[in-house]
Homo-oligomer: A and B are copies of this chain.
């Protein structure tokens, strides 16, 4: 309903107040439109009102800056930081009014002080409130229905903050209190953020990819070249990549569940849940979703790569060559039952693992995750996740079969790749199995319900155990 969503909401009731807007860029315009439609009287202050009047809704009054400022107490400053100084001649009329700084920067921490603080320093007689910068001109016009409804607000003056918060709410946004002016800098950096939650997981994935890639390269390409002068370079684009991707996917998947295990360990060790985890662990716990999704992405790519194998010329040539050889050597039967079974099993197991992972990925979509209650979410993400981990382990083991014990597989004494990948996942699975043992499980549950080791002995029924704590905290594990 693009046409429709381009109509802002009707403000109800609060229409008395007059709001001022300084500036006449896109943002000023969208702001004015939204304010008018939310039932406010709007006065726009511009250098040359005549030329700009056309840009604004007729309901808004466009006049000279000084005029506009006189008519209202709340003024949105929709001007670039570089031009704040041009407002200084308005200092007297602005005195005592609320200035809303909606500006953004072009790069993170571009200036030593935030725009809002700079504005405040220019107009000491005004109360400056930072806000609305996270909203885009487009969101302002199209209505909060699309895009993020939140408006982050901060100021040193509680009253001013509340006033702006009310205006934001009438405009159909959700005001969010970010505390005092000092957090203005943070607010101004938000629109400049570039997927911060993904940086670490992506670096992790790339790191793992490089390691395994070089390892496989040595085993599959360099070794045969050095030992038998065989040129296997053609394997690099697909085969080497395709033996690397599953390793990354598999290890990443286990790294999704490792931090939970560690958290549980620390809780068991310290016998309380009130002790904060070290920062690196907190970080890790918060990035599990991203790590999991990257793991799924690699697994999916691995599937596609594998499916492409029989398409390749090289595969075709090898087939024909073997066929021809068969004839030359008059051999009829080349059927190796074990090989057949190995492949049938690890392929089917692999498909099941991929199916489970895709379920995990789908349920982590915001719109679906929000429709689940916590128990459902944890069942899928934790229980199904562990099952997926176990099945991928089976996939790896059946793929490896007995190779680990065949010394020909040790190129340059390097063990087959799959053996390396097994390390972390198996530890995680083992730990999980231990946590499921009744004795440990009971203790963990008690701790997560608020029970603390030291204090338990003191009194039989301490308030702590009597208090209600939601299950969510255990979603960390």
Contacts and interface: CB of A to CB of B under 8 A. Distances in A.
Interface of A: 1-5, 7-10, 12-13, 23-28, 30, 37, 46-48, 52, 78-80, 82-83, 86, 102-104, 134, 136-139, 143, 145-150, 152-153, 161-162, 165-166, 169, 172, 174-178, 186, 190-195, 197, 234, 236-238, 241, 286, 297, 300-301, 303-314, 316-317, 319-324, 326-328, 331-337, 339-345, 347-348, 351, 354-355, 365-368, 370-376, 379, 449-450, 461-473, 475
A461 B4 contact: no
A473 B137 contact: yes
Q: DSSP class of A's interface residues: helix, strand, loop or mixed?
A: helix
A469 B137 contact: yes
B194 A375 contact: yes
A115 B112 CA distance: 55
Q: Which 5 A-B pairs have the closest CB atoms?
A: A25-B467, A83-B466, A47-B463, A367-B367, A25-B469
Contact of A347 (B79, B311, B337): B311
A165 B7 CA distance: 14
B311 A344 contact: no
A30 B472 CA distance: 12
B143 A176 contact: yes
A324 B321 contact: no
B153 A10 contact: yes
Contacts of A471: 104, 136, 191
B12 A169 contact: yes
Contacts of A314: 340, 343-344
A463 B174 CA distance: 32
A374 to B, nearest CB: 5
B237 A344 contact: yes
Contact of A310 (B47, B136, B310): B310
Contact of A195 (B186, B191, B376, B465): B376
Interface centre among A162, A166, A286, A340 (most CB of B within 10 A): A340
